[in-house]
Amino acid sequence: MAEAWNLHLGWLFAIHIGCAPNLFVTVNWTCAPSSTVSDPVRRLSMTRDRMKSFLRRNGALSLVWIEVRENPGGHSEHVHWVIFVPERLVAKFRAAMRKWATMDAETVNAAAVVFRPIWDWVGLQRYLLKAGTPEVRRLFSVPASISPFQGQIDGPRVRVAHAVGHKARSHSGSLTSGAPPGVRVAHAAVRKTPF
């Protein structure tokens, strides 16, 4: 539940500070297999670090991203990112992201890196929360037609950039800083089950 609230409140805070995510990126490591860096968690971390460096280097004032990991069937590890990329950098960012995500791959399928615009942030948020517990799915109105079975992963399923994380929201005094009573929103622990 805490991860779902962190995602939701982080997104609201990004909108509040004028950095609403404008790019939805899915990277599927099974569509770009690598024998040199076979661990998808390591590839994810390397790609995330390159993404953050690119945004800093190109003058992005806030590094705003929300990450959701999935592994349906236990053999299709992939990540969804919603990211705020200044409009002037979108084309350059897309080309760079394709390069970073497939850098160590022997082969690359067209589905390895997919970009989509964000038209309906509420609907996309529901989609990203599909692996949630029945309570999360009910609370965020995730349609029953979207399968909750997104596989087990090691580590947090949801991560939120510091710029829109719990501490940033708390320090701002924003109304988006708190979750409902009884829900503690902080860094997620290692999670192998739905949030």
Within a domain: residue 138?
no
Average pLDDT over residues 164-186: 68
pLDDT computed for residue 187 by the predictor: 38
Q: Please, what is the Cα angle at 43 between 40 and 49, to 5 degrees?
A: 140
Mean pLDDT across the chain, nearest whole number? 86
pLDDT computed for residue 71 by the predictor: 86
Sign of the four-CA dihedral 112, 113, 115, 120: positive
Sign of the four-CA dihedral 53, 150, 168, 20: positive
Q: Which domain holds residue 74?
A: 2-125+151-177
Residue 180 binned pLDDT confidence (cut-offs 50, 70, 90): low
pTM score, whole prediction: 0.84
Within a domain: residue 120?
yes
Q: At what angle do helices 40-57 and 90-102 cross, to 10 degrees?
A: 150
CA dihedral angle for residue 44, residue 187, residue 166, residue 3, rounded to 10 degrees: 80
Share of the chain above pLDDT 70, in %: 87
Which strands form 78-83's sheet, in the order they lie side by side? 113-117, 23-28, 78-83, 65-70, 158-160
Within a domain: residue 189?
no
pLDDT computed for residue 192 by the predictor: 39
Distance CA 63, CA 159 (A): 13
Within a domain: residue 146?
no
Within a domain: residue 163?
yes
pLDDT in tens, 106-126: 999 999 999 999 999 999 999
Within a domain: residue 133?
no
pLDDT computed for residue 193 by the predictor: 39
Within a domain: residue 96?
yes
- Cα radius of gyration (the chain): 16
> In whole angstroms, how far apart are CA 80 and each of 28, 44, 58, 59, 65?
9, 11, 22, 24, 10
pLDDT computed for residue 188 by the predictor: 37
CA dihedral angle for residue 9, residue 158, residue 57, residue 88, rounded to 10 degrees: -60
Q: Residue 25: what residue type?
A: V
Within a domain: residue 18?
yes
Distance CA 85, CA 32 (A): 24
Residue 179 binned pLDDT confidence (cut-offs 50, 70, 90): low
Average pLDDT over residues 156-169: 88
pLDDT in tens, 46-66: 999 999 999 999 998 889 999
Q: In total, how many domains does the chain have? A: 1
